[in-house]
Chain A
Amino acid sequence: MTPKIQLIDVHKSFGPKLVLDGVTADIAASESFVIIGGSGSGKSVALKCILGLMRPEQGRILIDGEDVVNMKGRERERVMKKFGMLFQGGALFDSLPVWENVAFGLVQGRRMERRAARDKAMETLAQVGLGSDVAELSPAELSGGMQKRVALARAIASQPEIIFFDEPTTGLDPIMADVINDLIVKCVRELGATAVSITHDMHSARKISDRMAMLYKGKLIWVGRTAEVDKADNAYVDQFIHGRADGPIKMEIRG
């Protein structure tokens, strides 16, 4: 079976700064894949490359076997319809009320009727633990964690085939974080979506992922099944998942 998402030797740099230095990975359909890695290691950049928001200088990215790197116009829009994305910073439209944010992909992307889209938006908001009382508020009136949940609702509302979650649980209390973990698992198990998530929260990573990968110095230095992460014979992974300050990964701090 062709993998849902295939990255082949993807390179991306900003000026002289090399961020992705040959990332290669296969992600199967209906799989939940989690990328871990230090802050600034290029995880968000990797997602944006897959989404087509950034263009890698080298390498190929295949979605359902189609090379998407050079796609433009209608072709690109067709592929884009498969995606849902939760941005690290939320990226809610502050000129629209909460429910219109959630319904945006339905109304604009899928041409759904406004009333039906509103109902669907309310339903999705309920799934992330938000009631109808927030629907008419503007995103600026919500707390950080609530904004994150609205952004999550927006990403999954149109039930995309492939969903990207950039740090879905940061900024949430532990209980709400677990509700979100369950929701992500549900999207994958029940709706059959393919999920690619980024997280620093190892508890969450273990819970939502089928496979994990660690990004370090622009490469995926370890890829494996979640159950194997503890037995990974890799000093970098070991240091990261146990959160130890000393080990092969050196933080660039002078003190």
Chain B
Amino acid sequence: MTLLAAVGRIFLGFLQYAGRLTVFTGVAVAHCFRPPIYFRLILRQMVEIGYFSLPVVGLTAIFTGMVLALQSHTGFARFSAEGAVATVVVISMTRELGPVLAGLMVAGRIGAAMAAEIGTMRVTEQVDALVTLSTNPFKYLVAPRLLAGLLMLPCLVVVADIIGVFGGFLVGTYQLGYNPATYIHSSWEYLKPIDVISGLVKASVFGFVISLMGCYNGYQSRGGAQGVGQATTNAVVSASIMILTTNYILTALFFNK
């Protein structure tokens, strides 16, 4: 009986969380389109998310591309299908690994920073101060972050795709001894626009999710430094889980015909 009660409580807690998050998202999205729109703040967040994440995302991408080439080469050697390495690298990068890994890295970097910043503003009453100065915190704090996340993640993923494919190319030509011209040719040959486009759509969704979870958890944080710490952890964990879940759903929508 107590077990049932516990399960029920967890379920109710989840429903409550989902409800709050839905309301928060609705309000936040509505404020993205209603003036005043703070272009300076959007721009600042775009720089923060897009430009300053480049090193992390670039490093992740290059090593992923390199490992991918190495693994598929040794793996496919069993079927004497080494010729497929370039294709495997480019399709895995654009469809899956580019968006997902960039998303996870940015979630750790940006989601945490957003939750910490907004959470600190919440517990030190800066959010209340915004309200008393006739400024809507959703417009001033949340909307610019959501828009910047939505716009910048695809840009980061384009960069990640290119760097990742380049990493695969490096390993393929220098270490595995493929002919560079053939490698590039087979990279292009089987790549379809949908591979790239689906990756970019995913990236946009992930960017939105990362900003949303950062802002939501920051906004809800209570009770000093500990509350902010908790919010930061929750932001990263929930954003990562949501990235992996929505990734499956989007993949199913795109490719499951």
| B residues near A108, Cβ cutoff 8 Å | 133-135, 140
Decide yes or no whether B22 CB sits under 8 A from chain A: no
Contact with B along A147-188 (1 / 0, CB 8 A): 000000010000000000000000000000000000000000
| A residues near B121, Cβ cutoff 8 Å | 93
Task: Report the bound CA distance from A190 to B237 in whole Å.
Answer: 55
Within the complex, which residue of B124, B128, B134, B136 is in contact with A81, where a contact is CB–CB below 8 Å? B134
| A residues near B136, Cβ cutoff 8 Å | 77
Q: Are A85 and B134 in contact (CB under 8 A)?
A: no
Decide yes or no whether A71 CB sits under 8 A from chain B: no
Within the complex, which residue of A89, A95, A105 is in contact with B133, where a contact is CB–CB below 8 Å? A105
Decide yes or no whether B129 CB sits under 8 A from chain A: yes
Contact with A along B127-139 (1 / 0, CB 8 A): 0111111111000
Decide yes or no whether B126 CB sits under 8 A from chain A: yes
**Minimum Cβ distance to chain B for residue A161 (Å):** 13
**Minimum Cβ distance to chain A for residue B122 (Å):** 11
Which chain A residue shows the least CB distance to B139? A108
Counting contact residues on chain A (CB < 8 A from B), the size range is 20 to 34
Q: For chain B residues 103-148, which have a beta carbon within 8 Å of chain A?
A: 117, 121, 124-126, 128-136, 140
Contact with B along A13-41 (1 / 0, CB 8 A): 00000000000000000000000000000
Decide yes or no whether A92 CB sits under 8 A from chain B: yes
| A residues near B131, Cβ cutoff 8 Å | 51-53, 80
Q: Are A91 and B134 in contact (CB under 8 A)?
A: no
Which chain B residue shows the least CB distance to A164? B132
Counting contact residues on chain B (CB < 8 A from A), the size range is 10 to 19
Decide yes or no whether A84 CB sits under 8 A from chain B: yes
Task: Report the bound CA distance from A80 to B130 in whole Å.
Answer: 11
Which chain B residue shows the least CB distance to A53? B128
Q: For chain A residues 90-118, which have a beta carbon within 8 Å of chain B?
A: 91-95, 104-105, 108-110
| A residues near B128, Cβ cutoff 8 Å | 48, 51, 53, 87, 91
**Minimum Cβ distance to chain B for residue A172 (Å):** 19
Assess A77 versus B134: contact at CB under 8 Å? Given A89-B124, A91-B124.
yes
Decide yes or no whether A216 CB sits under 8 A from chain B: no
Which chain A residue shows the least CB distance to B117? A95
Within the complex, which residue of A77, A81, A87, A95 is in contact with B129, where a contact is CB–CB below 8 Å? A87
Which chain B residue shows the least CB distance to A160? B132
Which chain B residue shows the least CB distance to A158? B133
Which chain A residue shows the least CB distance to B140? A108
Given contacts A53-B132, A91-B125, 8 further A-B contacts (CB under 8 A): A48-B128, A51-B128, A80-B134, A87-B128, A93-B121, A93-B130, A154-B129, A154-B133
Q: B: which residues have CB within 8 A of A?
A: 117, 121, 124-126, 128-136, 140
CB pairs A–B below 8 angstroms (30 shown): A48-B128, A51-B131, A51-B132, A53-B131, A53-B132, A80-B132, A81-B134, A83-B132, A85-B132, A87-B125, A87-B129, A91-B125, A91-B126, A92-B126, A92-B129, A93-B121, A93-B130, A94-B126, A95-B117, A104-B135, A105-B133, A105-B134, A108-B133, A108-B135, A108-B140, A109-B133, A109-B134, A109-B135, A110-B134, A154-B133
